[in-house]
């Protein structure tokens, strides 16, 4: 279940970035302020939820080589 939530929240996080970038791509920056606010908010919320809900989901990191 955690892996599924991680994937869904990652997709939603990148979708928020696309919503944020949409006004730049269409050339309507002044009328797209709402898109930028919604996109940035969606990205931050989904990113924080992803970190909070999938904490401990990653496997152990193996050290390779020396720790200089």
SS3 (DSSP) at 66: coil
Kindly state whether residue 58 falls inside one of the protein's structural domains. Answer: no
pLDDT digits (tens, 9 = 90+) for 13-22: 999 999 989 8
In a domain, 29, yes or no: yes
Task: Sort 58 into a burial class: Cβ within 10 Å, 0-12 / 13-18 / 19+.
Answer: exposed
Residue at 66 is within a domain: no
User: Crossing angle of helices 2-26/33-53, nearest 10°?
Assistant: 160
- In a domain, residue 61? The reply is no
Give the 3-state DSSP-derived string for 22-65, with helices as H, strands as E and coil as C.
Answer: HHHHHCCCCCCHHHHHHHHHHHHHHHHHHHHHCCCCCCCCCCCC
Is residue 59 domain-resident?
A: no
Mean pLDDT of 54-62: 63
Number of domains making up the chain? 1
Residue 11 has a pLDDT of 92
Q: Is 68 inside any structural domain?
A: no
Domain limits for position 8: 2-52
Quick one: pLDDT at residue 38?
Answer: 92
Domain for residue 62, yes or no?
no
Q: Is the pLDDT of residue 47 over 80?
A: yes
Whether the pTM exceeds 0.75: the reply is no
């Amino acid at each position: 279940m955690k892996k599924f939530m991680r994937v869904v929240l990652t997709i939603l996080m990148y979708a928020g970035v696309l919503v944020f970038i949409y006004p730049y791509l269409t050339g309507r920056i002044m009328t797209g302020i709402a898109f930028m606010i919604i996109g940035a908010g969606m990205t931050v919320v989904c990113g924080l939820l992803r970190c909070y809900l999938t904490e401990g989901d990653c496997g152990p990191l193996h050290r390779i080589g020396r720790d200089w």
